[in-house]
Amino acid sequence: MVAEQYRVLFTNIEQINQKKPSSVFAITSAIKGEGKSVTSLNLAYVMATEFKKRVVMVECDLRKPSTVAELLEPACAQGLSDILKGEAELHASILQVEDTGLFILPAGNITRKTSEILGSSRIAGVIDSLKAEFDYVLVDSPPVLPLVDMNVISRLVDGVIMVVRAGKTQKDIVLKAFKSLSKCNVVGVVLNGADIKLGKYYY
């Protein structure tokens, strides 16, 4: 059931792509703990394994990165933050999920200067390089609230997908997050953890 919902989600993304060439999508949430990283990874995996797309998932939540890269390569010591600081090379930092078209660009070493690093002009170059090499770039982004990191990232992507956890996130918080993204191209909403009888995910 869940895999089928990710197939539907990708089909909707493909339709967006047909109307207007779009290959870079940020996946975010109003606040932390809503399942955006799991959504990013599952969607990327379905795209790569079932639809045979070359997909790279970029761990861009530099304040609290997911553990995906560590599962693939426990000793990985470099990633996006190191690239943006000029301390690592892009291609040397990308990990591949064996026998698939799925690649992961880890967050890299955590730093206190996250906003400054994300505001670097280098990040646009990183996204452009990935866009040229992959069919799709999925950016696992920071939550919209209470930080400003997502505002920087939203300017670099073709569309934003919002993840909302059913029964957890208060309506006023969700509305505040959408207001913060009012100038962004929000292309869909994923309702995570809803009653399976109603469908776990909506797009």
More confident position, 57 or 76: 57
- What share of residues in the chain are helix, strand, coil (percent, to 5)? 40, 20, 45
- Please state the rounded mean pLDDT for residues 47-76: 81
- Beta strands 159-165 and 186-192, pairing class: parallel
pLDDT reported for residue 23: 93
Residue 168 binned pLDDT confidence (cut-offs 50, 70, 90): confident
Give 122-167 pLDDT, tens digit per residue. Answer: 999 999 999 999 999 999 999 998 777 888 898 899 999 999 988 8
Whether 104 and 59 have beta carbons less than 8 Å apart is answered as yes
* pLDDT at position 68 over 70: no
Q: Which residue range(s) make up the domain with 24?
A: 2-192
95 falls within a domain: yes
199 falls within a domain: no
* CATH number, residue 160: 3.40.50.300
Q: How far apart are CA 155 and CA 162, in angstroms?
A: 15
171 falls within a domain: yes
pLDDT reported for residue 75: 58
Residue 69 binned pLDDT confidence (cut-offs 50, 70, 90): low
Q: Is 195 strand, coil or helix? A: coil
198 falls within a domain: no
Q: Can you read off the two tokens belonging to residue 70?
A: 């560590």
For residue 93, the tally of other CB atoms under 10 A from its CB is 21
Residue 76 binned pLDDT confidence (cut-offs 50, 70, 90): low
200 falls within a domain: no
Give 96-128 pLDDT, tens digit per residue. Answer: 998 999 999 999 887 777 778 887 889 999 999
The pTM is what? 0.88
124 falls within a domain: yes
pLDDT reported for residue 200: 46
* pLDDT at position 72 over 50: yes
203 falls within a domain: no
DSSP β-bridge partners for residue 59: 140
DSSP β-bridge partners for residue 160: 26, 186
pLDDT reported for residue 182: 84
33 falls within a domain: yes
Give 77-99 pLDDT, tens digit per residue. Answer: 789 999 999 999 999 999 999 89
Our count of domains for the chain comes to: 1
Q: Can you read off the two tokens belonging to residue 19?
A: 């109307």
